[in-house]
Chain A
Amino acid sequence: MNLTSCLLLSAALFAIGAFGLVTRRNLIAALMSLELMVNAALINFVAFARFGGPHQVQGHPESGTLFALFAVAVTAAEMALALAVVIAVHRQRKHLDVRELDGLHG
């Protein structure tokens, strides 16, 4: 268990999330794939905080961990808004197919 293996795991998780974001048609499923990608980023933050990168910040070795905490809070806000939009779209359109949701398409 070292920095490289953690980064590889995070890269694999990110790739799986990106695959899902492109292939899933349901809006909620796309959001869940987005969660996977955010999770990969969190693993990166914590792994760098644990093992130290090439340019580790002097003075605050806890910064990486705190960044992960802030990222979690921002993701919580984002998901609350996104799921509110999902509910509103479903109420209006009665479906959640992302390929049909082209109302902003000029």
Chain B
Amino acid sequence: MQRRDFLKLSAASALTAALPIGGAHAADAIELPMYYPVAVGGPIAKIMDGYAAAFHQANPDVRIRPIYTGSYQDTTIKALTALRGGGNSAPKMAVALAVDIFTYYDQNVLVAADDLAKGDKAWLDGFYPAFLANSRMADKTWSVPFQRSTPVLYWNKAAFKAAGLDPERAPADWNEMQDYARRLTRAHNAKSITDWGVQIPSSGFPYWLFQGLAIENGQARLASVDGTATHFDSPETIGALEYMVGLARKNGVMPSGIINWGTTPQDFFKGRCAMMWTTTGNLTNVRKHAPFPFGVGMLPKHKRYGAPTGGGNLYVFNNTTTEERAAALRFIRWVTAPEQAADWGMQTGYVATSPAAWNTGALKKYVAGFPQAAVARDQLQYAEPELSTHENQRVTKVFNDALEAALTGQKSSAAALHEAQSKADAILRRYRA
């Protein structure tokens, strides 16, 4: 491997010496296959290819080859399978879920971002700390924030007006949200409520939005930093779940049972729910499709403000040579630089990852014309890392199952969460020192 690269390198330098023409570089460019998922609407693939081309133009000796690999989950499946198989077709980099850090770490396939940056601490410190939190473990930073999101509250200003509420103000805290929701809930016929006050979607991965409630209730982290312990049955977590279950089952201001993640924006557009919690990644979608004026607010506070972060980071794998690592770092620094991060945020709806990006002229102008876009940024100071542990998917599933059991009324919040905690303990025990 190394010898071949040495030969390649000497061949390249020989060529450079013989033919000092720009075009000759391209043929010997370092090629870096990069897997990436598409998790939101919009022409992500086109943007990604455009970035790779623009980067190659500025850096003729490196060629990033973006390879679309499906959902986040598909991307991790394909990357780990290809890395196990080895060979030249395996990816050298990937965009993957920030919370999959333990999955990759436990498979021993990563190069730490610190090691890539070779002591340039200032660069990594330029990102929002809330986004970096999910990259850190074992005293190192393993991935670089890229396509990040956080949940916010969207509200229908027309419905607020109709219910006699101030259409320009989001509910500030839990009590106010419940009170607003009560006033916004309407029945279309005697048997059925069809216009709900609020929807907090709970299908597939209920833990993410629920985490917002848990943080607001004082449980800042659901798992320890080293990913070996969870806090699923703390009084704060249980209290948060009781509030969420109560919205539906006690107060009747949210549909009971599981609320579908995918149809919730549609419910919002059709006036079937006046407030919805969902990702900032939906901002462009809502802006395009909502047939009424809408507002975007921070998640309402309780004991404190709070929201989890979400989304994907850039990872570099350890099947890379020294030269490839340097080239990967160049691309990562280029694509996360303020101008580029601002462009990515505006084109996709993801939250630009550094304060410097929000200070660029382009993003300032965008926010001036569309102030809703800045809510996610302002909420970041209260944000906490997303739930992430060793055997992340298995532990998260245990937690999701418990939330679903409580939301559908099969178990009490406390019973479901105590059970989840003991299951998580059983899974994580062997990772504890």
Q: Do A and B interact? A: no
Q: Which residues of B contact A (CB under 8 A)?
A: none
Tell me the A residues contacting B by CB distance below 8 Å. Answer: none
